[in-house]
Amino acid sequence: MTTETSPRDVIRVLLKLTVVAVAAAGVVGVVGLLAGDMDDSGWRVLATSATFGLACTIAAAGVDVARRPVRGARGLGRLTIGFVAAAYALFMFVLWAEIDSERLDRLAGTLAILALEAGHASFVVARRQPDDRDGIRLIAGVSLVATALSAAAGISMVWGDWDGEVAARLIGVLLIVQLVTAIVPSLLRRVQQRDSRAPGLADELDAIADRLERATTAGAARHEARRLRELATASRD
């Protein structure tokens, strides 16, 4: 009898690998710096561990979005995982093979940009909710547009098609837009959930506590005490 591995299990494994890789990179870096003899091999090991952790994090975003019931989510997830795998493999080849090839370096940079931007898009799409308001949908859409523009600008800069200073400024602006538009929808969803939530036990207890603080007579306090007992009885049923 075989047990099917769920996407959640895969995400959990990837995140654990991220922790291990980051910890290993930290240990290598600390030991090398304290010893004072961090050679090229040490820096390569450090880069290998750090980028592996980053790759696992982005791949986890791809796996997460692929399981969401959103149009295009599965394709985006697969594309993200593919970009991550290709970028990491080529980066390892360039790092350890010591091949002096400008074209190969640029290709590795291109794949890295595509992996990062696809990971950002996966993060945004995976958090879409069916009941999102129009404002949240608009912000998420802006984030995806900024992601596409940032990828195009970054790749153009890698291949030398744009002026370096102009491209750097544009990419900086787009990255800020991406960061803001990725965070704000999550905050707005929390506000939306709080506004739409029906008053429950916690709200009733808060109200009783407020009335007890304002109670000026023993009778008022006893009334609130009876209400507390009624809530306790109802919670047991």
Model confidence, pTM: 0.71
Q: Which tens digit of pLDDT belongs to each residue from 159-169? A: 876 666 777 78
How many structural domains is the chain composed of?
3
Residues 117 and 134 in one domain: no
User: How far is residue 219's CA from residue 225's CA, in Å, rounded to a whole number?
Assistant: 10
Who contacts 45 (Cβ-Cβ below 8 Å, separation ≥6)? 28
Greatest mean pLDDT among 48-57, 153-162, 188-197 lies in 48-57
Distance CA 230, CA 220 (A): 16
Residue 49, domain CATH: 1.20.120
Q: Are residues 107 and 69 in the same domain?
A: yes
Residues 56 and 144 in one domain: no
CA 57 to mean position of chain CA atoms: 8
Percent of the chain with pLDDT over 90: 30
pLDDT digits (tens, 9 = 90+) for 31-88: 777 777 777 777 888 888 888 999 999 999 999 898 887 778 899 999 999 999 999 9
- Is the same domain home to 1 and 83? yes
Question: What does the alpha-carbon distance between residue 39 and residue 237 come to, in Å, rounded to a whole number?
Answer: 69
In three-state secondary structure terms, 110 is helix
Q: Both 34 and 68 in a single domain?
A: yes
Domain that holds residue 159: 130-197
Predicted confidence at residue 162, as pLDDT, reads 66
Judgement on whether residues 48 and 146 belong to the same structural domain of the protein: no
Check whether residue 189 and residue 207 sit in a common domain. Answer: no
What was the pLDDT predicted at 198?
A: 46
Q: How confident is the model at residue 1 (pLDDT cuts 50, 70, 90)?
A: very low
In this structure, the answer to whether residues 122 and 33 fall within a common structural domain is: yes
